[in-house]
Structure 1
């Protein structure tokens, strides 16, 4: 099977997301975190350790980087419209990330499954993220864009 490229982003267009998946979208089960932070922001996390995640922002100030829970990961949201688009964590010098499945357009995934990462110890979270999240992550700023 060839790679599947999906696109999306925030509601106002300041942040654009592109993911390259190694399987059909219906084979992926987004993880709906049961913490109040993720529930309030309609987040269901999707990742592919062999895939690619790209975030393109109009300018550096287009994104907010938020920390919560164990304070290990950066939750990336649009500074203008507030859409939560991804979560990332640097582990041993490499950036790992997951995308909010609700920020992707025209994709049909398997039904979401609840997840409770707050029950894991901090080191267990990092091990899980390293295993499950995108290991090829690129964050770009488009110079000169409005």
Structure 2
């Protein structure tokens, strides 16, 4: 029997300076995946458009503890993960009941140009509870830190 990720592809990426590297594993191919461009002021300032797969996985490797910054804004439930050296926003995470969920900024992936065009998303129109429900349904539920 094959695992859910057996037909998946792994996409590498990271920040500009290389201090934060990631591998995103997802079954849907990039050409069939529309990154979600959040319309909040923080994400717009960073040009972020996120991809995630609820059956996928994400591995984030950080050069050292100072290479990763975390920032909360909006409902303050999610943590935006940025490189402390070059300032690139690489992902957003949310933790609940000991499980971490994440969405990857598609612009940080080496294959960023292979994705379908981004579509708008307006999470600021949702309540905190609605956001959390959306994240736990859509985001990657397997996040590994190295």
Shorter chain as denominator, the TM-score bin is over 0.9
Q: For the aligned residues, what is the CA RMSD?
A: 1.0
2: distance between equivalents of 1:23 and 1:97?
Answer: 16
CA distances 1:87-119 after superposition (whole Å, capped 9, x unpaired) = 000022210000000000124111100000011
1: distance between equivalents of 2:93 and 2:128?
Answer: 15
After the TM superposition, which parts of structure 1 deviate over 4 Å for at least 4 consecutive aligned residues?
none
1:119 maps to which residue?
A: 125
2:14 maps to which residue?
A: 9
1: distance between equivalents of 2:32 and 2:65?
Answer: 34
2:81 maps to which residue?
A: 76
1:32 maps to which residue?
A: 37
**Deviation larger for 106-115 or 128-137:** 106-115
1: distance between equivalents of 2:29 and 2:13?
Answer: 17
- The structure 2 residue matched to 1:101, chosen from 102, 106, 111, is 106
Q: Which runs of 5+ in 1 are unaligned?
A: 141-146
The secondary structure found in structure 1 opposite 2:75 is coil
2: distance between equivalents of 1:94 and 1:33?
Answer: 23
Number of aligned residues: 140
Q: Which runs of 5+ in 2 are unaligned?
A: 1-5
> What TM-score do you get using the length of structure 1 for normalisation?
0.93
1: distance between equivalents of 2:28 and 2:102?
Answer: 18
